[in-house]
Amino acid sequence: MAAMRQRDMWKQYLVAFLGNLVLAFVIAHFIKVLGYTGSVEAVKLAIWAWLGFSATVTLNSLLWEGRKPALYAINNGYYLLSFAVVALVITLWM
Q: What is the pLDDT of residue 48?
A: 94
Would you state the pLDDT for residue 94?
74
pTM for this prediction: 0.80
The C-alpha torsion from 14 through 18 and 19 to 22, rounded to 10°, is: 180
Q: Has residue 4 got a pLDDT over 70? A: no
Q: For residue 74, give every residue at least 6 positions away whose Cβ sits within 8 Å of its Cβ, in sequence order, or none.
A: none
Are the C-beta atoms of 47 and 80 separated by less than 8 Å? yes
| Confidence check: pLDDT of 65 > 60 | yes
Confidence tier at 70 by pLDDT (50, 70, 90): very high
Q: How far is it, in rounded angstroms, from Cα 77 to Cα 88?
A: 16
Q: Give one DSSP letter per residue of the chain, joined into a string.
A: -HHHHHHTHHHHHHHHHHHHHHHHHHHHHHHHHHT--SHHHHHHHHHHHIIIIIIHHHHHHHHHS---HHHHHHHHHHHHHHHHHHHHHHHHH-
Statement: residue 13 has pLDDT above 70: yes
| pLDDT tens digits for range 17-64 | 999 999 999 999 999 998 888 889 999 999 999 999 999 999 988 899
pLDDT of residue 61: 87
The pLDDT, as a whole number, for residue 1 is 55
